[in-house]
Structure formats: structure tokens, C-alpha cells
Structure 1
Amino acid sequence: MNLERLRILREFAEYGTLTAVAEAMAMTPSAVSQQMRTLRREAGVTLLERDGRGVRLTDAGRALAGHADRVLGALDRARADMDSYRAAPRGAVRISLFPSGAAMLLPGLLQGAQSAGFDIVGRDVDRPAAHAAQQLADFDVVVVHRDDRDNSGWSDRLDATILLREPLDVMLAPGHHLAQRRTVALAELSDERWIGVEGGLMVDDVLRSMSTITGTIPRIAQRINDFRVVEELVLTGAGIALMPRYVAITRDLIRIPISDIRIARRIEAVTRAGAAAQPSIAATLEILRTICRQIATDQPATNRR
């Protein structure tokens, strides 16, 4: 049986729809369907059956998907074993980072990789952390951020390395009536307008956590994903915003901790299970850990820019 078709079957077992498999593997749904039909002929049994408006795996399909997972896992381990025989990292590591993470981490990562003798191919991709598994169809490492209260686990097919826990502060214009405070209580922000982000992204998850804990629902005036645009809106008084403490800002704005609730984002590097056995990926993760340790060490204990 063709390994690529087995990989498609495994992805279907994971995602449950042909459309999701097509998106994860950068294929068209019709191409996925054609490959599944070919695999059915190779296997000699029916692998999919109708389920309402969609399809699902038959018992035989589930059995073959389990074998496919083991076969492909063994192949990945074999490749990792071969890579481990190399004396040093080499080749290129493809990495996806959320935009503010790319600004913080990518320059140092490029320098570290160059010194170690391998290449980094980076992209800034603004997608929820839950999409990391799909992104790994195109990347070796996916750096995500999520609400530190999010305790949802990762699939057994993924490994996650915690890089940094970063507090979030309230960002205010210098003329704001709370701008001279060292800390602020959440109740004091109940009448404020907030500059939020698209639903499903980290800041929106944190705002939802705040709402759940306190019963205070933030008034979202605008939803803007780009922190630079957020800065401009806060500066002009369009609203206040949450800003990760270690993100560099360019405008003369004030950042103040919230005193009665601990809010933070957790930055993680997600890889396929076992991928860290490859020297270049292991080196990438170690460089990221080193950068993050330095970031946390260098930050002054202040609420000002």
C-alpha cells in the first residue's frame, strides 16, 4: 500500500472529514476522495461508509488507520534514528510563529541556527493554538500562545515544549485617568471600552477567562489582531487593551498590572511526536528555550514602557 495514501487515511481518522484532511494536507477534497478510493482498491475492503451528509470509517477502515499510524510512526522514528547519527544539526527547519512571537523570537533564532550550522525558514501565522496539528502538515515546529489557564492537552501525536509564561498588563494612553496607578483592580475597568482580537485568539481567550472569573463582561469596541494597530487605537483613546509584558511597543503608552487576577499567556513550541530526536529540531527548541529564559531575566519589574 502507498504510504501517502496511508497518511491520508490516518489524517481522516484524526480530523473526521475529507474537507479537513484536504486543508491539513494542502490538497483538494476531490484529490483526497480519489486517493481514498485507490486505497480501498489496494486494501480490497470498504474503508468509508455514508454517515448522514458525510462519511465515516468502517470497522475495517478504523483497523487499517491504526496500522497506518503505527507504520508511519515507525517510519518517522526510523528517519529520526538516521538523523541522530549525524554529528551536528543540518538542513532547514520550517517554523511557524504567531506575529508578536515572531518579533520576539525569530531574530535570535536565526542567529542561533546560523551559528549552529543549520537554517531556519520562518513564517508569522496568526491562528489559534488549536490549529497547531494542522499547521504541522507544513511546518516542523509551530510556536503558539494561549491563555495560561487553558489546561487542554495535546494529542498523543504531538509534543509541546513550554517556552515562556508571560504576564499580560492593561495598556493605557498616558492621559488615561488610571495612568498614574501602579496597579489596577479589574472592577475599575468595568466601564472601559476594550480593543480586543478575533475570537479564538489568545487575548480573546484571556478576556473570556476574566469574564468567567469575575462576572464582568468586557465591552469590546474593536477587534484588531495587529498589536501595532492596537497601540495606535489606545493612543487615540479608542479603548484600552491587554498587552503581553515582554512585547516591545513603539508608542509612549502605559502598561499596568491587574492586581486582583493573574493573567498570562503560555508560549509553547509544538512538534510532531518524536520529532525532537532530529538534531536540527532539538537545536531549534533549545535555542528557543535559551532566548525565552533571557527575555524573562532581562525584563525590569516595572509597569511603564
Structure 2
Amino acid sequence: MKRIGVLTSGGDAPGMNAAVRAVVRKAASYDMEVYGIKKGYMGLINSDFVRLDSSSVGDIIHRGGTFLRTARCEEFKTEEGQLKALKNLEAFGIEGMVVIGGDGSFRGAIALSRKGVPTIGIPGTIDNDIPFTDYAIGFDTALNTVVEAVNKVRDTATSHERTFVIEVMGREAGHIALYAGLASGAETILVPEIPFNMDDICKKIINGYKRGKLHSIIIVAEGAASGFDIGNKIKEKTGFETRVIVLGHLQRGGTPSAFDRILASQLGGKAVELLKDNIGDKMVGLVNGELLVTDLEKILVTPKPLDMNIYKLAEILSM
């Protein structure tokens, strides 16, 4: 294989640029050419390709977002759209693809593989909801962004003796909320994977104030409930002053952490190794410190469970 393509798709995540950099420079070590596809699968259909070399990916390892940009593309979900993409790949002589993104991006990667284009998926999503990898690119950075925000909220919460509800991202997964809650010492963590009872939450808040606590921090995953709904119910049931903060897309931005840069570099390098050997229809992840290669089909049918040991520990430590 002498010429490959790389794209970023779905929601952006800090560290995607580091992954693209790794793909390009590892490919150069094998005398392989790399084309970047702009705006994800939309770029495949519109033939929005750009030649990348070692110089063109210089000075991007520390940049958040994705310099290739990203976009949703309904047309690629159709047979007609996929055939357009395939025609463009053939015109440029691109023999294999690297797709960086989440489960939606991997559906597109599977479609390319079925059309005869060996494709490797790299997990890149702050939600960290991709199985067969301990971490997806962007999760660590987003996690640290949330913890930093909670630290600042805690200062004002203590000063005013208030309860704060902080809503975080994660789609239908609670990984950001769980890890941020443990790391920031939140009193309560609400995740979609585990049912919760408002009476129990309010009782815990009241008991905390009786013991002399000056504030309470409740972290809510967006897939579990609306932060504003939780805040209103707490105020109704306890009478305590309650404020709600929705961190939103703030969590996606920022300079990628050292961990995300290293993870992205490892995954990007491994993806090129696989394509060099004409291996496709796989995802490369990191499990227990080792690179793991998994069939893309398995990714879409296997849920990623919440770490219940972490959840139980967070509950104990928040007392």
C-alpha cells in the first residue's frame, strides 16, 4: 500500500490533530503518501482532498479540535453517496483509510471496508463510550477541563454556602461524569447507567449541611437528566439556594493533555502499520497499556460498561 487517506468525523476531540500527525509521519517512514480528507465523509463525497506531508502536520500536536475539520454527512449513509466516495478514492489512487471518531464514524469505516477499501478506526470522542479501549482520544482532556471548572465552582459554592448542579457531556454514557465526580470530590454523581432517587439525593444534601458542610456539588451526565430539572427539584425539596451550570461544548475544546497526545500518537502509528500490511476493518485501542486490534463490527454491537468499582468508590469517598 503506497497511498492512504485520513479523516476526522463526528464530534471533535482534543488530540485528533496529534493522531493525524502520527498517521502522516509514520506513513512517511514507510514511503507511503497520505491525503487528508476535509470535513469527514462529506469531503469524501465532495473530493475535498489535500496532500499531507511531514511539514504540513508540523506544529499541530498541541492544538485542540481538528485542522481537517469535521461535519455530519447524511448522504454518505446512502449507497449512492458511498459510491461517489469510492469513485473519488479511486481517482486519487487511495488504497486504504484511517478514520478518527466515534461509533457513527466507525459505521462509515465499515461501509468503506465492505466496498473493498481497507479501513482502520481510531477512537476519538470525549464521551469515552467506545468499547475495546480503556480511553478514547479526547476523554482525558475533557475530564481535566471539567475538573478545573468544578474546582472554580467549589470556591464560590463555599463562599455562598450553596448547592451547585453541574451538567456535563457524554451523550448516553456517564464516563465523564463519573471520573470527574471522583476527581473533584463531588457529593453526588448522576449517570444514565444507574437509576437514582431524588429523595435520597436531597436527604444526602441535608445531612451534609447538618454535619457542617458549606456546599454540595452534584455532577449530572446529560444522558441521565437535565441539570436544570435536577436543580429545581433540589430547591423544591430542600429549600436550599441551588445554582445550575451546563458546561456544554467548553468540554470539547482546549489544548490536548499529554496523555491524549501520547495516546493519539500510539493509535495513529499502529493504524498505519496495519494498513501497510493490507489489514482493514479494524479498530485499534489501548487496553491495560497494550495496543489492541478489534473487528469494527464488534465495536458497534458491544456496549462499554461503566466501571462500577470507580462508582462505588466515589460514593464512599463523598460521604
Instruction: State TM-score, norm by structure 1.
Output: 0.33
Give the greater-gyration-radius structure (CA): 1
Instruction: State TM-score, norm by structure 2.
Output: 0.32
